[in-house]
Copies of this chain bind each other. A is one copy, B any other.
Amino acid sequence: MEVCVVLVRARNAGNIGAAARAMQDFGFADLRVVNEYSIPLEAARAAVDADDVLRNAKVCASVAEAVADCTLVIGTTAVGERVMEHELLTLKEAAVRMEGKYRVAILFGSEKTGLSNEELSYCHWLMTIPMQAREGRHLSMNLGQAVAVCLYELVRGNVLAEAGPHSEESTATAAEMENLTAVLEEVLEASEYTRRHPSNSDPVVMRRLVMRLGFHAGDARVWLGILRQVLWKLKRD
């Protein structure tokens, strides 16, 4: 299994550096940073002693780009007051379910706000580190510590040792799923579904709908073909 850590809108260079250091400590190499501006990553590169991981970190303009080649996308959350639409697993349960997967992305949100609903819509399911609630406090863990604890659980359980296959029969990548979502949106537009059911046609709602299907790679391609055919027909009439 290959694991990449995706930091979404991390603002603090120290936290990016700490996350990179935890990755290096536990033997992970693939860091992807989603940010509108590259300043925190550059500051982290200048300041911190985790050269390899930081030097090779990939800067992405969007979550979609960051997770495109992944077959499983997991969001992390501190379980606030937000209503959860996703299935939520503890870190321990999550490690078990990751076994045998091909390429997994673990998303960490910004220190202040976590992952937005739009960002969460790219995730197959969520995981959380069990914490002690404190009265009147919003539960949240330091970003560097959260990354360290999550990666420790993977190393601990030896989840990484079992390499998953990536054949035609395996799970679709996030890029394939995103492609499907985009074509579905076009179909809904062309069929005037979006006009009749605007509240169901939000891109985030659509993406969640497609993600929940949990397509195998081959199936995703077949469905894409079907949708394209429908689209062609709709536009032609």
Contact = CB atoms under 8 A, between A and B. Distances in A.
A116 interface: no
10 nearest interchain CB pairs?
A27-B132, A145-B148, A149-B152, A25-B131, A25-B141, A148-B149, A145-B145, A22-B145, A149-B149, A21-B142
Contacts of A155: 130
14 contacts: A18-B145, A21-B141, A24-B132, A25-B132, A25-B139, A25-B141, A25-B145, A26-B132, A52-B134, A92-B156, A148-B148, A148-B149, A152-B153, A153-B156
Interface string A149-165: 10011011000000000
A94 to B, nearest CB: 12
Most buried by B among A25, A26, A131, A156: A25
A147 to B, nearest CB: 8
A134 B22 contact: no
A144 interface: yes
A182 B91 CA distance: 46
Interface string A98-137: 0000000000000000000000000000000111101000
Interface in A56-89: none
Nearest to A155: B130
Contacts of A27: 131-132
A18 B149 contact: no
Nearest to A134: B24
A8 B129 CA distance: 27
A156 B130 CA distance: 8
Contacts of A156: 91-92, 130, 153
A178 to B, nearest CB: 32
A112 to B, nearest CB: 12
A131 B92 contact: no
Interface string A175-212: 00000000000000000000000000000000000000
A152 to B, nearest CB: 5
Nearest to A131: B25
Contacts of A129: 25, 152
Contacts of A21: 141-142, 145
Contacts of A152: 129, 149, 152-153
Nearest to A156: B92
